[in-house]
Amino acid sequence: SQQGEEDPQALSIQEGENATMNCSYKTSINNLQWYRQNSGRGLVHLILIRSNEREKHSGRLRVTLDTSKKSSSLLITASRAADTASYFCATDNQGGKLIFGQGTELSVKP
């Protein structure tokens, strides 16, 4: 089965609100990454957090990692309609491959 599980599966918010997505995984990891996918397109890398880091920021993105709980969260602050997309977490367990979660579909209404 896939390593990552994400919740919620879908999230609908208003512009300006914050969006939080969660990801859980099963095995030890080297790093955890978040990707964004616009409808019908490929994935775009957003942010990476290493296993020895607890929090990372990039613009309006904030990622946390709790290796004891094997979980991560992605927070998008002050969301915009253009943030509407699917968001995937992916774990790198040093095997050279990434294992993707099921994704959270975010809808930001203007």
Which chain residues interact with other proteins by CB under 8 A? 2, 30-31, 33, 35, 40-45, 48, 86, 88, 90, 92, 96-98, 100-103, 105
Strand 55-58 and strand 5-7: the pairing is unpaired
What minimum distance in Å lies between the beta carbon of 101 and other proteins? 6
Q: Which is nearer to other proteins, 45 or 57 (CB)?
A: 45
Which residues, listed in sequence order, are joined to residue 80 by a DSSP beta bridge?
Answer: none
Nearest to 93 by CA among 64, 74, 67: 67
Q: Which is nearer to other proteins, 51 or 64 (CB)?
A: 51
Question: In whole angstroms, how far apart are CA 18 and each of 3, 40, 61, 77?
Answer: 26, 25, 10, 4
Q: Which is nearer to other proteins, 77 or 84 (CB)?
A: 84
CA gyration radius for the chain? 13
What minimum distance in Å lies between the beta carbon of 16 and other proteins? 26
Longest dimension (CA), the chain: 42
What minimum distance in Å lies between the beta carbon of 41 and other proteins? 5
What minimum distance in Å lies between the beta carbon of 95 and other proteins? 9
